[in-house]
Amino acid sequence: MDLSVFIFLTSGLFLGWALGANHLGNIFGTAIGTRMIRFNTAAVICSIFVILGAVISGGGTSETVGKLGSVNALGGAFMAAFAAAVAVYVMTRFGLPVSTTHAIVGGILGWNVFSGTSTDYDTLIKIMIGWVLGPILAAGFAMLLLVAVVNILKVWKVHILSLDAYVRFGLVVAGAFGAFSLGANNIANVVGVFIPASPFTEFRVADLLSVSASEQLFLIGGVAIAVGVFTYSGNVVHTVGKGLFTLSPIAAWVVVVAHSLVLFMFASQGLEALLERLGLPTIPLVPISSSEVVVGAVIGVALLKGAHNIRWRVLGRIGVGWALTPIIAGIICYVGLFFLQNVFGQEVYRPLKYTLTPEAIARLNASGLATEGLSDLTGQTISRGDRFLRAVRQRIPLTDAQEQQLLHYAESGRYEITGAILGKLNEGWIAREQMTALRSLSGMAFAHRWQIAEALAARTEEWRPLPPLPANKLRNRDLAEKLEFVYRTFGQE
């Protein structure tokens, strides 16, 4: 891998380190605070399972982060992640369990503003709903679990020494589950911003195991989180474990389980598929705030016990940290992008161009968007999505969904499928039938990315996305990664 690529990825590693430093307290802070588990034991368990969660189940939430802002240059991804990491680090210095989710969302929005990229507000609202629902669900789960456990212990009279051993074991198991859920849900915060500009390609290990570009990023990010857990998590562990509300060992277990369940619910593609099969409302796969969730669980326990000993000043400090984090990250990202581009001469975004070609107009009309008022824009090329949308809005009204549709069909460039590049592609990653279809386009040029996707889909079903059902998500996600690779490979500057 080119050295410059590694340099750009260091900000993601820094963010992963900051997340690990800040979030051990969310998983094991209550257990360590009650002296049921030693710090080193908790750090080892957390490190192992956070990596497993990131690699095995990190795909769902990362897709959502990618929709919020498709950062298309490594320089921009570097600064968005760096800004988020700095914001988290500053709050960690003050011992506050801040939200890495808030930080990376702030960084992405800062990049969107700087690059003129349209923010997908549906995705942003979905993420923010997760921020609200997460702590509420955690508080509810914690209250239900505590009532259930207390009643079970009244019936099942356990000796105090046996109870102590059971609680310690329960905290270890719950902490492992929590670390897995943290890796699955929050790895998107660490490396999700790098996925659209990922320098990696899929490779196979002995024709047995396929490792996608995203999974490689998840592994690197998971290791960075583990390093942060070991090196700098003491202050936040103290705040969560003792600073907000004094917990008994059983209540500490309840908090960890409630926190873990909520994180898992918002990251599990399997649970989403099950709910859909049962005809029930699905839970959005969004990266929610681990810090908000664990604080919600602690507050739930405290409310059940009368709320007399809640340290409201500590809670207030935590709330201020949550509110300031995305603002700080967004400002740092915007200013950093300016210096990175204008002082250091680095590419922080690839300017996207938008052209209402006859083909794009035909697709928009077919989708139900009336384009009669756009005749004077037909054939014009406009750089930056914000300028293009501004020009269109002056002529016709648009809903948020129509804006995204318009950007999709009008995004333009030059994509030429050349034999020289085709000969260098890895057939082990792109299936044989897919490769045959791609070779059949040799010598052809396209003005829009969607035209390439349609041309490939017309040649083989291997390039056709399946209906958007949970069972098809992995296959469609893999197909989307391959198409992005094709666009990058054959796109002309």
Torsion angle (degrees, nearest 10) of CA 56, 59, 65, 67: 180
| Coil/strand/helix, residue 114 | helix
C-beta separation of 8 from 75 below 8 A: yes
- Is 147's pLDDT higher than 80? yes
- How much is the pLDDT for 241? 46
For residues 394-420, average pLDDT: 90
Most confident of 159-168, 245-254, 432-441: 432-441
- Is 315's pLDDT higher than 80? no
| Coil/strand/helix, residue 411 | strand
- Is 59's pLDDT higher than 80? no
Identity of the residue numbered 159 = H
| Coil/strand/helix, residue 204 | strand
- How much is the pLDDT for 307? 67
Most confident of 52-66, 96-110, 362-376, 452-466: 452-466
- Is 326's pLDDT higher than 80? yes
Please give the mean pLDDT across all residues of the chain. 83
What's the rounded Cα separation, in Å, for the pair 393 and 373? 10
Query: Which residue blocks in 232-311 are alpha helix, DSSP H?
Result: 234-238, 249-265, 269-277, 290-304
| Phi-psi group of 116: left, alpha or beta (phi > 0 → left; psi -120 to 50 → alpha; rest → beta) | left
Q: Per residue in 266-311, pLDDT tens?
A: 887 777 777 777 777 778 778 888 878 888 998 898 888 876 667 7
Q: Which residues of 107-134 are buried (b: 16+ CB within 10 A; e: fewer)?
A: bbbbbbbbbbbbbbeebbebbbebbebb
Q: What is the full DSSP assignment across 334-388? A: HHHHHHHHHTS--------EEEB-HHHHHHHHHTT---GGGGGGBT-EEESHHHH
Q: Per residue in 168-191, pLDDT tens?
A: 898 889 889 988 988 888 887 788
- How much is the pLDDT for 444? 94
C-beta separation of 111 from 384 below 8 A: no
| Coil/strand/helix, residue 397 | coil
What's the rounded Cα separation, in Å, for the pair 29 and 241? 4
- How much is the pLDDT for 360? 94
pLDDT band at 489 (very low <50, low <70, confident <90, very high): confident
Cβ burial of 29 (10 Å; 0-12, 13-18, 19+) is: buried
pTM above threshold 0.85: no
- Is 131's pLDDT higher than 50? yes
**pLDDT, greater one: 163 or 236:** 163
pLDDT band at 426 (very low <50, low <70, confident <90, very high): low
- Tell me the two tokens of residue 215: 């999974």
Percent of the chain having pLDDT more than 90? 29
pLDDT band at 409 (very low <50, low <70, confident <90, very high): very high
Q: Which residues contact 457 (CB under 8 A, 6 or more apart)?
A: 463, 464, 465
Residue with tokens 């859909």: 276
Compute how many other C-beta atoms are within 10 angstroms of the C-beta atom of residue 449.
20
For residues 181-205, average pLDDT: 75
* HSE toward the beta carbon, residue 276, CA cutoff 13 A: 15
C-beta separation of 425 from 489 below 8 A: yes
- How much is the pLDDT for 457? 96
Q: Which residues contact 456 (CB under 8 A, 6 or more apart)?
A: 434, 437, 438, 441, 463, 483, 486
Domain boundaries, the chain: 3-342, 353-412, 414-492
Q: Which residues contact 38 (CB under 8 A, 6 or more apart)?
A: 32
